[in-house]
Every structure is written in structure tokens, then in C-alpha cells.
A and B are shown apart, each in its own frame.
Chain A
Amino acid sequence: MAKTPVTFTLNDAETALFVDPGAPLIDVLRRGAGDLTPKHGCGQGTCGACTVMIDGRPHLSCLTLAETIEGRNVRTTGGLANGPELHPLQTAFMEGFAAQCGFCTSGMLMAAKALLDHKPNPTRDDVIEAISGNLCRCTGYEPIVDAILIAAARMQGRTA
């Protein structure tokens, strides 16, 4: 079966790849584009480790048919940092021990970024709702929720 060409924007970079028919976006990002930041967890839409942003909204890359992203804008954790300068979410996660094994972290960061992009001053309940599709088996979630609130406060120039 012939591969299909797909062009899209990946973290602001124009990207063109040939994809296998039926391939999920996560395979194309990891194997095709070499962006290993989205993690392949459950493969059935339960864990959220593969969360990426498509056109500014969170999507699960394991359940997204790669061909459907033609012409669309994809953001992954790989595009969060600006050179050596970490995104405030990444800094808050690191300082607050919001990552232990780290497998969920990439999905958590993208779910959190999607929230803060639309709601810069979220409540604790907003944060819990935003990451309700992302499973973490290490932290008990509290450090993650705290880190997101701290990052939100810093991005708004206030203290949490």
C-alpha cells in the first residue's frame, strides 16, 4: 500500500512526511518526525500520555489518524522550551517534583498548556478538570496541580 504524503506544522516548523495508511499520529511524530516527547502509553485513549495540541486544543495522538492533520498545527512538549530556556510549566514541574517516573509528564504539560492558553488564571478545579484525562501513577496528582497553578501565577506576574 502506497504511503500518503502529509504536510503539517510541528512546533512552528513546516513538516512533510510520508505516512502509512491508518497510522496514528503518535507513530508519525515519534518515528517519522523524530519527536520522542509524546509518549505511547495505553494506545486506547485512557492514559493521556500522548496528548498533543492540534490547532491549539488538546488531542490524543494515539487515536488521531495521521492523515487528518494535513495542513494543521501540531504542538508537542518538544516545542515548549525556547532554546535553553524552559517553559514556566516545565520549570514549575521540575521545582515542585511534579514528575517522578516522567512518563505522564509530557501529556500533563500539554494538557496544562492548553488550559493556560485559554484560561491564564485557572482555579484549582479548572486544573483538575484539565488534567482529568491524564493518568499519573507516581505523584498522587497534588504536586502536578500545584505546579500548574504556580506556573500560571508566574506567567501572570504574581505569586501562587
Chain B
Amino acid sequence: MLSIDIFKTLNEAASAMTDRSRYLAGGTLVMRDVTYGDQSFDNFIRVRDVDVTIRSEAGGIRIGAGATMSDLLSSTDVSFLHPVARSIGGPAIRNMATVGGNLFAQNPYGDLTTALLAMDAQIEMSSGQNQPIEAFLSNRTTTRGLVAAVIVPRLSTSEFRFAKVSRVKPKGVSLIALAAWLRHGNVRIAFGNMGPTPLRAKSAERALNTSIDDTSIAQACAQCTEGLAPEDDALGSAWYRSEVAPIHLKRLLIGGNR
């Protein structure tokens, strides 16, 4: 039987977390575990006043961890994230699933996190400390504390690209998710479902750093699976993912405004 503890602040909630606790926000991930009889936890931690605000700050746009996908879609500050939020679930899921929860979503979920990795988001923890999303993802299963917010740079829709490859139309889970921040000289590309967490394709990024043209795109696509670690699952084999990833990256890079 589960116990549920509700706290006023995120800091108090973070202090109360134990190995047998799970933090409950939107519930789209942890309530599944309850239904399926997961015995690894017996305590839910909640916060009464969840931060759902999305606001422009000096360092970028701060998105409260409790903001839902629908909240993202309602905010004009993060219009570059709208295609990502819209690709996630149906309206009901989007009204529930939170930005903070997506950071912990296992494959085949976590498309937003792939986008956040490509845009070099900062993760603000309940302790007040920030860390780059890449560092956060590398130890997200062991990390202590709760996520308070995600800070993203202010991007234009033309310099950010996102694609979700799914077998089901109009909506299905990702076979692969791809995101690219096409900054001149400092390109970032992230793949979802190509490893245990969303991962950067650093060889492909290097290929695009001097210029983004047909030659560099071909080189980036040829090298894009270096460092990735796709796995077999019901949607596709690791081999299949590695074979099609370059094709989808090419489509992502030549699409849009080019």
C-alpha cells in the first residue's frame, strides 16, 4: 500500500525523498508503475504549489518543472518548442505530462528531453544549483534532489529543428527522435532512443561546425551514429535504428528553411 506525503516546498520534498519514494507530478510515468504492481517504492512525494511558470529571464527562458506539455503550447516564449510538445501524446497526456517528468522518461519516451539536450538546457535543482543537461542525463538514475526548472536559450524557430520518427500516424511513440540546434560554428545534434538516454552525435556536430552544406551534411550523416548505443526493442532493432538514423538526420538538416 502506498503512502502519500505532500509538502509545501520543493526543498522540503527533496529532503523527504528516500530510496522507497517516488516524486509524483503529472503521474503519466509513475502511475503506470503503480498499476503494474511495481514494488520498488511505497511512498509518493508531492508538492502543493508546483512551479508551472514559463518566463523570460536574463539567461534564457525558465520553465518550471511542473509545466505541462499543454503549458508549453500555451506559451509564446517557447514557440520553438511547440512542435516538440505537440508531438507528445494526445491532448489528455499533454495536459498531464510535465517537463520535469520528461527528463526521467525511459525509452521510447522522452522526446522533449532530446530537444532540451540539443539546445543545451540547464537543469535547475531544488538546491538552487544548475547543471548542464548532458551532465544531468549521464547520472539521472542516481541523482539526488528534485528538478525545480529547466532553463533554455531563447531560440528562433529557424535555428532549431526537431523530428520524431514513429511507426503510427498521426501519433505514436518514437522509433527515433532527433533535434538540432544549427548555431553557426557550434552545432548541437541530439538523438533520442539511440541509447539509454538521449545522446549527442558529436562527430556529426563537428562535421557541421565549419559550414552547413551538402558536403558537410553528407559527412555528418555518415558519422552520426558514432558514440550512440541503440538497443533492440519492440519498435525496431538496434541495427535498423543505426541504418535509418543517417537518413532521418539528412532529412532534418536539408528540410526547413534551407
Contacts and interface: CB of A to CB of B under 8 A. Distances in A.
A96 interface: no
Contacts of B222: none
A133 B35 contact: no
A139 B36 CA distance: 29
Interface string A47-75: 01001000001111011110110000000
Contact of B27 (A48, A58, A64, A130): A64
Contacts, number: 87
A111 B90 CA distance: 9
Contact of A63 (B3, B32, B90): B32
A45 interface: yes
Interface in B1-43: 1-4, 24, 26-28, 31-32, 34-36
Given A21-B3, A21-B4, A22-B44, A131 B90 contact: yes
Interface residues of B, number: 25
Interface residues of A, number: 31
Contacts of B3: 1, 21
B95 interface: yes
Interface string A111-128: 100110000000000001
B91 interface: yes
A108 B91 CA distance: 12
Contacts of A67: 4
A154 to B, nearest CB: 22
Interface in B24-75: 24, 26-28, 31-32, 34-36, 44, 46, 70
Given A22-B4, A132-B171, A63 B44 contact: no
Contact of A43 (B2, B27, B35, B171): B35
A78 B35 CA distance: 24
Interface in B140-180: 170-171
Q: Which of A48, A57, A63 has the most chain B CB atoms closer than 10 A to its own CB?
A: A63
B96 interface: yes
A4 to B, nearest CB: 8
B102 to A, nearest CB: 14
A21 B96 contact: no
Contacts of A132: 90-91, 170-171
Contacts of B32: 43-45, 63
A128 B86 CA distance: 13
A129 interface: yes
A90 interface: no
Nearest to B26: A63
List the 3 closest pairs (A to B, CB-CB), nearest first: A133-B90, A22-B2, A1-B1
Interface of A: 1, 4, 20-22, 24, 43-45, 48, 51, 57-60, 62-65, 67-68, 111, 114-115, 128-134
